[in-house]
Each structure stands twice: as C-alpha cells, then as structure tokens.
Amino acid sequence: MLTELDKKIIASIQGDLPITARPYLEIARSLEISEEALLDRLKILCRMGVIRRFGATLRHQKSGFEANAMVAWQVAEDRIDAVGDQMAGFGEVSHCYHRNPTPQWPYNVYTMIHARDEAACRDAARRISAATGVPAYTLLFSRRELKKTSMAYFPAGDEDD
C-alpha cells in the first residue's frame, strides 16, 4: 500500500527532473524531507516493483536524428525472445516490443529506429534483418509528432484525491 508520501514522491519524479548537480536534493526539499530519506524511499519503491525504471526522453529531432521509423517485424513465435534481445542490442533501436499479430496484420515485433535520415533507417532495418534472419518487415516512418508525454500516475498538487 502506498503512503501519501510515496504518492508525492512518485508525482515529483514522473516529470522532468531538475537540471542541477543534485536533482534529488531539490525534489527532497520540495517535499520537505531529506535527500537521504527520498533516495531510501525510492530504493524501497524500486524493490517493491512500484517503480520499475527511470527513463530519459531525448528529443531526437533536436539532436541530429531527423528520421525515425517504427519497424514492424514478422517473427516466429518461438524466436521472439532471442530475436527481440538481438534487435534491442542495435544502437539505432530505442524501443523493442512484442505484440499480438492479427490475421490482417501479421507483425508481432516492433522496433523504433532513429537515424539521421530515412535512408539510414532503411539501412539499419536491412542490417537488423540480416543479423536476425527475419526477412519479413515493413517500415512506418514518422511524419509529425502529435503528442509525446509521460504518464502521470499521481498528478502533482492533487493531495485531495
């Protein structure tokens, strides 16, 4: 069971962290607890499985990666784990997911590839295909980002909920 402090801690870390030498100290001060207490509680929440990971979002367009493609792969079900691990190991791949195929859409593994241009995305997909032995795939290029936000499980400032 999460305490009210746990919910406040989660709310304080689900957005952008302060860009300072000690971001957790700033967060702790805003929660009126010590930095040590905050870090201890975060470790406990991780061990409990409440927090599974901390992530960073890179605005790839602003860093020279102007193209990205979701690549849908048709992978034999008995190879999903091995192929997924191999695909995830490519530097151009930021996300790798297993999803259920449908009769109309037989793809079951998805990778997000980021590169400097569309030709480099295609080249990365060809290299991944060759390395994994998965020939059936299609590239879906992003044309425009419509929304990109992180989930907010406990909105900051909603102590009354």
pLDDT at 105 over 60: yes
Q: How many domains does the chain fold into?
A: 2
Q: Is 46 helix (H, G, I), strand (E, B) or coil?
A: helix
Question: What is the CA 110 to chain-centroid distance, rounded?
Answer: 13
Both 30 and 103 in a single domain? no
Instruction: Name which of 17, 11, 92 is nearest 55 in CA terms.
Output: 17
Contact 100, 135 (CB under 8 A): no
81 Cβ contact list (under 8 Å, min separation 6): none
Question: What is the CA 24 to chain-centroid distance, rounded?
Answer: 21
Confidence of residue 62 (pLDDT cuts 50, 70, 90): low
Both 29 and 95 in a single domain? no
pLDDT at 160 over 60: no
How many C-beta atoms surround the C-beta of residue 109 within 10 A? Answer: 22
Contact 28, 8 (CB under 8 A): no
Both 68 and 137 in a single domain? yes
In this prediction, residue 99 carries a pLDDT of: 97
Q: Which residue range forms the structural domain that includes residue 30? A: 4-48
Is residue 12 included in any domain, yes or no? yes
The per-residue pLDDT for range 3-39, each reduced to its tens digit, is 999 999 999 988 778 888 999 999 999 999 999 999 9
Both 18 and 78 in a single domain? no
Residues of the chain above pLDDT 90, percent: 66
Confidence of residue 159 (pLDDT cuts 50, 70, 90): very low
How many C-beta atoms surround the C-beta of residue 128 within 10 A? Answer: 22
pTM over 0.95: no
